[in-house]
Structure 1
Amino acid sequence: MKMVFRWYGEGNDTVSLRQIKQIPGVEGIVWALHDVPAGEEWPMDKIMAYKEQADAHGFHLEVVESVNVHEDIKLGLPTRDVYIENYKKTIAKLAQVGAKTICYNFMPVFDWIRTDLFRALEDGSTAMFYDKAQVDLMDPEALVRMIADNPYFTMPGWEPERLRRLAPLFEAYKQVTEQDLWDNLQYFLEQIIPVAEQYDIRMAIHPDDPPWPIFGLPRIMTGPDNFRKLLKLVDSPYNGLTLCSGSLGSNPANDIPAMVREFAGRIPFAHIRNVRVYENGDFIETSHRAEDGTVDIVGIMRAYHEIGFTGYARPDHGRHIWDEQCRPGYGLYDRALGIMYLWGVWDAFQREKKERLQ
């Protein structure tokens, strides 16, 4: 298992590379050019600027999250080919700085959804929260205003240019069925995977967050049946999954340790985090500790250990603790604690294995 840490870049993150360097076992940063709009080819000078910063602290740039997919590709519009060509050119450039995995998603309009960015937990920390009934009744414009007004930088999936196009995008997706979205994903992968193979970069799709339809928009990356379908669209080891335990775990029907074992060879990247799911469908993000949430983090780590996982893993959304002012879910302290918890569980399994072999 290769531990990495998501970083949003100088001037757009409260966490510094100097601080990340002090977290035991972190080898690389998970990065992206967040100021480049979806669909545009990434400029090489900006890519190299990230490489210089990473090199200065001894980090690799092997995991990119995300190279966002333009909405015209998801909608299947004639203009999609222009954006797919830009995506191919970006892949070629990323290979020059050692990229090995690209995380992306295929969620219409925006990706993750929460109704409260700073809901209080019993211990006084805060975390991102999802109120199911509120979302079911909410006008998406109201949710957009809540997210856009947060004071802690731009947030992936909620970029300003995307928010400005919200109304026409919702109108366009009225004509898109779930099968249409599958067809458009297949078209994208048939174009992209041969390029990924050429440059030895694995594509890893992220599950929908949460993994069910929102605001009448189709969502297709929701659980094991759909993952099986995805992997058959283009049957290549370069067509894989970013297995996110938090996104999938918000639906208790998802057996994540079973998914780890079933899709073992097709998981280049793992997001490992916990959520607490309530009977009414609400959920809140918690510490990574298994006992604090609903997700079987220890069972998930055991499954990764059993399959001999050598891919990349990162702690995902953390709480906001010790009065840290940070990007929602992406502070330093709780994610660092999460890494140490994950290493502790992993090291225990390593010890067990060593003792069995003696």
Structure 2
Amino acid sequence: MKMVFRWFGEGNDTVTLNQIKQIPGVEGIVWALHDVPAGEEWPMDKILAIKAQADQAGLHMQVVESVNIHEDIKLGLPSRDLFIDNYKKTIAKLAQVGVKVICYNFMPVFDWVRTDLHKALEDGSTALFYEKSKVAHLNLSEHVKVINENPEFTMPGWEPERLAHLTSLFEAYQGVTEEQLFENAKYFLDEVIPVAAKHGIKMAIHPDDPPWPIFGLPRIMTGQNNIRRFLQLHDSPYNGLTLCSGSLGANPANDIIAMIHEFAGRIPFAHIRNVRVYENGDFIETSHRTQDGTVDIAGVVQAFHEEGYEGYCRPDHGRHLWDEQCRPGYGLYDRALGMMYLWGLWDAYRKAAAEKETNQA
């Protein structure tokens, strides 16, 4: 397991590379060019600027999250070929600086949805929260207002260019079915995966967050059956999955451990985090510790260890602790704590496996 840490760049993140370097076991950063609109080719000078910063800190930059998919590709519009061509060119550039994995998603309009960015937990920390009934009756303009109350940071999946065209985007998706979204995804994969394979980069799609349709929009990366179908759309080791225990764990029906065992060879990247799911369908993000949420994090890490996982992993969304002022969900303290919890589990399983092997010898 190769441990990495998401970083949003100088001026766009309260966490510094020097701080990341001090977390035991961190090898690299998970990065992106967040100021480049979806669909545009990434400029090489900006890519090299990130590389210089990572090199200076002694961290690699082998995982990108995300090279976002333009909505015209998801909609299957004739203009998609231009944006797919830009995507291919970006892949070639990323290969030049040593990128091995590109995390992305195929969610229409929004990457993720929460109703409260700072919901209080019992211990006084705050975390991202999803209130199911509120989403069902949500005024989107009010939700955009909540996001815009954090103007010092860009919010992945809620970029200004998307927010400015919500009405037209929703109109464009009228009548688009889950089946059509799968078809449009296949078109994208058939074009992009051969290019990624040529350059030794694995594409790793992220599950939908939350893993069910919202606002009448179709979603396809919601559970084991759909993930299996997506990976079969273009059956290649370069068409992979970002296994996110938090996104998938918002639906208790998802058997994440079974997914790890089934898809292990197609998971180049993993996000490991916990959520507490309530009976009414609400959920809140908790510490990474198994006992604090609904997801069996200990079992998740054990499954990865049993499969001999050698891919990249990062602690995902954290709580906001000790009055830290940070990007919602992406502070330093709780993600660092989460990483050490994951390492503790991994080391325990590794030691147990070694002792078992010795005893059997």
TM-score interval (norm. to shorter):
over 0.9
Alignment of 1:268-347 (within 5 A): 268-347=268-347
Question: Per the alignment, in what secondary structure is the counterpart of residue 210 of structure 2?
Answer: coil
TM-score (normalised: structure 2): 0.98
Aligned CA distance change for structure 1 residues 152 and 282 (closer, same or farther; 3 Å): farther
C-alpha distance in structure 2 between counterparts of 1:280 and 1:251, whole Å: 12
Aligned to 2:355: 355
How is 1:109-258 mapped onto 2 (pairs within 5 angstroms)?
109-258=109-258
64-73 or 170-179: bigger deviation: 170-179
* Residue number in structure 2 paired with 1:74: 74
Structure 2 equivalent of residue 26 of structure 1: 26
Q: Is the 8 A contact 1:301 1:346 kept in 2?
A: yes
SS at match of 1:263: helix
Question: 1:16-71 CA deviation, whole Å, 9 max, x = no partner?
Answer: 00000000000000000000000000000000000000000111111000000000
Shift of residue 147, structure 1, vs aligned partner: 1.4
**Structure 1 length-normalised TM:** 0.99
Letter in structure 1 aligned against 2:14: T
Unaligned runs of 5+ in 1: none
Note the alpha carbon deviations across 1:135-165, whole angstroms, 9 max, x for none: 0011222212211222441110000011001
CA contact (8 A) 1:152 1:326 kept: no
Equivalent residue number for residue 54 of structure 2: 54
For residues 146 and 53 of structure 2, what CA distance do their matches in structure 1 show?
33
Residues 286-334 of structure 1: per-residue CA shift (max 9 Å, x gap): 0000000000000000000000000000000000001000000000000
How many angstroms apart in 2 are the aligned matches of 1:62 and 1:157?
21
Amino acid in structure 2 at the alignment position of 1:210: P
Residues in 1 aligned to 2:74 and 2:55: alpha-carbon distance in whole angstroms: 35
Q: Distance in 2 between matches of 1:118 and 1:152?
A: 16
Q: Structure 2: how far apart are the matches of 1:134 and 1:67?
A: 30
Q: Answer yes or no: is the 8 Å Cα contact 1:274–1:285 preserved in 2.
A: yes
- Give me the whole-angstrom Cα distance separating, in 2, the residues matched to 1:10 and 1:152: 12
Q: Which residue of 2 aligns with 1:95?
A: 95
CA contact (8 A) 1:241 1:269 kept: yes
Structure 2: how far apart are the matches of 1:177 and 1:349?
43
- Offset at residue 177 of structure 1 (A): 1.0
**Distance in 2 separating the partners of 1:343 and 1:204:** 23
Whole-angstrom CA distance in 2 between matches of 1:146 and 1:58: 37
Cα offset, 1:82, TM superposition: 0.2
1: CA distance, partners of 2:265 / 2:148: 38
Name the CA distance, whole Å, in 2 between partners of 1:342 and 1:160. 34
Aligned equivalents of 1:144 and 1:248: distance in 2?
A: 24
Aligned mates of 2:180, 2:225 — CA distance in 1:
17
SS in 2 for 1:321: coil
Unaligned runs of 5+ in 2: none
2:38 and 2:199 map into 1 onto residues whose CA distance is 21
| Deviation larger for 296-305 or 135-144 | 135-144
What secondary structure, in the 3-state scheme, does the structure 2 residue paired with 1:193 have? helix
The RMSD of aligned alpha carbons is 0.6
Which residue number corresponds to residue 107 of structure 2? 107
Q: Deviations over 1:248-283 (max 9, x none)?
A: 000000010110000010000000000000000000
- 3-state SS of 1:339 partner: helix
* Cα distance between partner residues in 2 of 1:175 and 1:211: 20
Deviation at 1:78, TM superposition (A): 0.5
Letter in 2 for 1:324: E
Structure 2 counterpart of 1:213, which letter? P
Deviations 1:152-189 (A, max 9, x none): 41110000011001110000000311111111000000
1:302–1:349 CA contact under 8 A, matched in 2: yes
String of CA shifts for 1:199-228, please: whole Å, max 9, x gaps. 000000000000000000000000000011
| Percentage of matched positions with identical amino acids | 74
User: For this pair of structures, how many residues does the alignment match?
Assistant: 358
* Separation in 2, partners of 1:308, 1:248: 22
